[in-house]
Structure 1
Amino acid sequence: MEKVQVRDLQRTRDWIDTEERMIAAEGERRPAPPPPEWLIEHGIGIRPAVRVHTGQCWDTRTRCKPVPLDVARRALSEGIPACPHCRPDTALGILD
């Protein structure tokens, strides 16, 4: 029984070493690009924009596209709603 436990312990240690090496190798890769500053969320299909977000918003979905500052500002001024969580209208100084 003791031999089985020692073998299992060594297997676990080997697994941990392998995982730590993989994590270290991932850290050597290029860092992820910074998130975009502004996002516009589009509806399903070909629907128009439905919401404007900041790049750090936690409530973004897969239908969000990065946009430059002027596009985000124009979208808000044209009546596209601001996300109620990240409040890009406040960040941009555009309030109703």
Structure 2
Amino acid sequence: MRSSEFSRQLEGYGLLTAQILYHMPDHPGLLQTFLWQTLDKAPVFPELKRFLTFWERDIDGKLHSVRICHRDLIGPSDWRLLDAEYPIH
């Protein structure tokens, strides 16, 4: 059973964005860009590894490079001190 996205975030998963450059199958001299986002766990990135394994096995375009950006969605909360409080009734 797959847990909800919120539960995965509590387990340490964050938003991963991968920019994948690959050679076009019919024109290997040309590069195409593919953007992919998912929840993944840094620093091992099991979901990204699974996706790239699938790509190399089932997709004709040979990989050129992969750039990633990862951001935890749940972390220590930011807080600030209030200057004033205004009660309402």
Same fold (TM over 0.5): no
TM norm structure 2: 0.24
Greater RCO, CA 8 A, separation 6+: 2
The structure where helix makes up a greater share of residues is 1
TM norm structure 1: 0.23
Rg larger for: 1
